Structure 1
Amino acid sequence: MTNTIAIFGFGPGLGMGAARRFGREGFRVAVIGRDPEKAARHVADLKAEGIEAAAFPADVTDAAQLTDTVATIEQTFGRIDVALHGAAGQMSDRIPTTLAVEVPDLAVPLALKVYSPILMTRALTPAMIARGEGTLLYSSGSSPSVVLPYLSNFGVALAAQREYLLQLAEELRDTGVYVGLLNIGVLIGDSEAERIVDTRPDLVPPGVEIPRMTNDELGGWYWGMYTNRDRTEVEVGFSE
């Protein structure tokens, strides 16, 4: 039976890198993104590389759309073996200093990095628990060992996501369902963030150096988490 990976919040960086890596291993790829045209282009690129893929346009922060999309994927491909939550905010949504953060500024980060991961988890976990296997992968933009005030409102949301996932992993420990969180401290090749930083380097505070990694390399990190299943958290790109 062919396995399926569903990538929620698919983009040209993280999403494409993970899709290629899993696709090379024989996985079918469900591309879930808000923009139908972009999702269709990603699918076309994957098919051109010999990877079976299909687009499922949806807003992953909308509970009804996410639930309906999971059902549609299962009708199209069968069960979802691996789910990856890769949705990320725009740099324009980031408040440049923690001192300036107000309560409304948390709305977008919490929707993307807390509420949406919870929605994905609740949509997929019951079936995975029932069959005794499954993989839930998530993305973060910061590490618990590195305090970066310029992440401000997104840093708050990422901390909340981390605690939720650590609790989730503990609760699912003996069910056969693996929970993995990749803390990403790099600019991902071909990503929107890389394009913006290259255009507006002033958005990164002086003295902050962000290493870079191709999206294919990043996909390899997710593949390693899926195959090893030995750590809830993995960090890439952070200095001691």
Structure 2
Amino acid sequence: MADVNKKTALVTGANKGIGYAIAQGLGAIGFTIAVGARDTTRREEAVERLRANGIDAFGVALDVTSDDSAATAAKTIEQTTGRLDVLVNNAGIGGRVDGGAQIPSTLDLDVVRTVLDTNVFGVVRVTNAMLPLLRRAESPRIVNMSSNMGSLTLQTGPQLAAYAPSKSMLNSITAQYARELAGTNVIVNAACPGYVATDFTGHAAPRTPEQGAAIAIRLATLPDDGPRGGFFDDEGVIPW
């Protein structure tokens, strides 16, 4: 069993990109990091890189599209640390775009289903599996990684009629969790990392993963009187 006084954070999709940067940032301020990822090799490599930087980390096999995987991941964390202080739902996909698959008039509904299964249903699966462990913590936090492309007000970015609505729905789900948990110590918010250079963007974006991770780290460490059910980036509240 790990040090009971040390906080533990699970970051999904933590083997690379923004997820890894969030893991690194939380680890640097003293969290034990549960590296959630599907790919065994990449997960183990991420754990080793974090440990090489002096961060206490362990791997958690996690496919967010599988109920069984989410349940098993919760058992792994319970056996390792006994509770969970922070959950960062970072794992997400953009979805296929070839052949007009995400243009509304030629929208491929199979692409929509696939994107929703990871970006929305995956968040619900993992959150519900981890809530019993989060409730054991003194100041539990849940951060859902969203995008301003999901903002109905801003309507930013290219037309991605599977990806953008998935983030709109994620923001709404975040608000619903916040309503349910309003009378508890579990604080839930959504974060927009901005346009970050990752595999998702072809590494052609201006922001670094570390810059993208900053808002998630801030929301993961909110004080007990912090905001609930909001959508934030580095500048503050995002209209959505």
**Contiguous gaps of at least 5 residues in structure 2:** none
User: Cα distance 1:3–1:197, how it changes in 2: closer, same or farther (>3 A)?
Assistant: closer
Tell me the residue number matched to 2:217.
Answer: 223
**Residue 164 of structure 1 aligns to which amino acid in structure 2?**
I
After superposition, residues 28-67 of structure 1 pair within 5 angstroms as 28-67=32-71
User: Cα distance 1:162–1:46, how it changes in 2: closer, same or farther (>3 A)?
Assistant: same
Contact 1:32–1:57 at 8 Å: present in 2 too?
yes
Query: In the alignment, is residue 146 of structure 1 matched against residue 150 of structure 2?
Result: no
After superposition, residues 89-108 of structure 1 pair within 5 angstroms as 89-90=93-94, 92=96, 95-108=101-114
Tell me the residue number matched to 1:193.
Answer: 200
Contact 2:89–2:144 at 8 Å: present in 1 too?
yes
**Residue 227 of structure 1 aligns to which amino acid in structure 2?**
T
Tell me the residue number matched to 1:155.
Answer: 164
Tell me the residue number matched to 1:180.
Answer: 189
Larger RCO: 1 or 2 (CA < 8 Å, sep 6+): 1
**Contiguous gaps of at least 5 residues in structure 1:** 199-210
Q: Deviations over 1:150-182 (max 9, x none)?
A: 121111222222111111112212201010100
Identity of aligned residues (%): 22
Deviation of the 1:143 alpha carbon: 4.2
User: Cα distance 1:193–1:111, how it changes in 2: closer, same or farther (>3 A)?
Assistant: same
- The match for 1:121 among 93, 109, 127 is 127
Deviation of the 1:131 alpha carbon: 5.5
Instruction: Work out the CA distance in 2 between the residues paired with 1:149 and 1:219.
Output: 23
Q: Secondary structure at the match of 1:175?
A: coil
Instruction: Work out the CA distance in 1 between the residues paired with 2:83 and 2:113.
Output: 32
Instruction: Work out the CA distance in 1 between the residues paired with 2:208 and 2:160.
Output: 22
Deviation of the 1:93 alpha carbon: 5.7
Contact 1:128–1:177 at 8 Å: present in 2 too?
yes
Moved more, 26-35 or 142-151: 142-151
Deviation of the 1:225 alpha carbon: 1.3
Contact 2:116–2:166 at 8 Å: present in 1 too?
yes
Q: Secondary structure at the match of 1:180?
A: strand
| TM-score, normalised relative to structure 2 | 0.84
Moved more, 43-52 or 71-80: 71-80
Contact 2:10–2:33 at 8 Å: present in 1 too?
yes
Deviation of the 1:217 alpha carbon: 2.1
Instruction: Work out the CA distance in 2 between the residues paired with 1:91 and 1:64.
Output: 23
Instruction: Work out the CA distance in 2 between the residues paired with 1:93 and 1:236.
Output: 29
Q: Deviations over 1:100-156 (max 9, x none)?
A: 113222111110111111111211223434666411111112241321451211112
Contact 1:128–1:134 at 8 Å: present in 2 too?
yes
